Structure 1
Amino acid sequence: MGNLISTFLPADLFDRTSNCVGEQAKYVWGLEKNLRVLETELHKLTRARADLKTKVEVEEQRPRTRRTNQVAGWLEDVQNLETEFTELERVRAHEMDRLCLGGLCSKNFVSSYNYGTQVVELTDRVINLKKDGEKIEVVVEKAPDGAAIELPLDHTVVGQELLLDQVWRCITDQENNRGIIGLYGMGGVGKTTLLKQVNNNFRHQQHIFDVVIWTAASTLQDDIGKRIGFSEDRNWKEKSLQDKAVDIASILSGKKFVLLLDDV
């Protein structure tokens, strides 16, 4: 008589094995459907990217603004995902041809499974990245322009180079700097021109100051406020002189600054 061998597997082991096979097979059997889902989600992402880029480019038309690192990083991540999708598309036809009887030929199953998992994983990343983009609220920030803003010079005064050097050394010599330097003389001798040259020196020479402010005595608070960023606050101009002074002091108290005051 023939021999009969019976093998009994625990029920939970059988369930786990079935689940494992089913989990793996869905990446193969559902490959074509998963690719269509990936394409749809990627199109949504690229449309969101186009909308954000348009918004950023409009905001960047404003002076002294630049896109935030968050925006720049998000746009770069979208580009990287598009590159990955292009690579999947490059081998798509080959992988689809490898499928045999639902992808269950032993020789092709592993390759199809690996490709299928890449498709599903990339789809999840595309969806999550789109959600991240929807959370971005601030797209641009104020761009730094250095300690000083270059001022145009209508002309220079002959022989003023020595005086400019003296003033510059008085400002930057920390041991002998007494905090206030006065330039005085008759009208038309070149005080304003000299003051502008001092200002422009902060664009081209080494120094330790955080901010350089050029202003006239008649517009002192508004010019200082604009230079240190309060011009972005629509309500700031409506504040009282005392409140403006408090705001200005709160910013400048933590900085090393130079105030170039013209027309005293």
Structure 2
Amino acid sequence: MSMTMKSEILRYSLTALAVLLPTYSIFLLASSEKVVYLTQEDGIYEAAGAIFLLLASVFFFITYYRNRKGNDFWLFKTRKNLFFLLLGLLFLFGFGEEISWGQRIFGLETPEGLKDANIQEELNLHNLEIFQMYTKDGEMKTGWTKYLAGNKLLSLFWATFCCLVPLLAYAFGPFRRFFERLNLPIVPLFIGGLFVFNYLLTKIVGLTFGPEEALLRGPLVETKESAISFLFFGLSYWFFRHPQQATAADAPEKVTSEAATIGA
């Protein structure tokens, strides 16, 4: 790994820390009322998260358009990397969901059928009762249904795509060759580490809450989701700048180089 690449990894990491730490600092420095205000529906944090998702989709679409190496799905091959297109569509969908598809911007009404099934009676899918931890009556779900909650599905996605897949690619040759044939974009280990760091920040902040601060649990979830949106934006920009380094073929070199960087 060149010194230029090491410097870029350091800049990415420091930039992420410079955003994440102040983002969570409101729980230590601001009043509960201020925290609720900042993280409320259509508030600053939610708006920032939506913008980051939109930017992530734009960068993934551009990367898809520019990338000339396709996928090999055995039954068929592609001329471009469909994974970048799918990621762009995914984050565009996430942006639309965050703003309820422009419901409040354009003054749209929620259809009656959707209103009855939506916890917040909004024009989106992620607030459907099936994707919530609680029922409309305020009862916490039990069993497998609670794992369909939107925040749990989001955690499953980043943990798999940003952590598990890269570790498998870097550590095991058969997985690396499988991902390489698919031309699956592999998240750099240091970016996966930032997602884990964000998760740990959430847990640490949550441990500081007393019984009287239970109302901050919801704002903490909103903060975590906004931070994840920022990290996905950072990932999209990394792939935009380094599309040629996004495949499993580079995994062995990456893990050695990045490990050396961390140990330096």
TM-score normalised over the length of structure 2: 0.29
Q: Higher helix share goes to which structure?
A: 2
TM-score normalised over the length of structure 1: 0.29
Q: Higher strand share goes to which structure?
A: 1
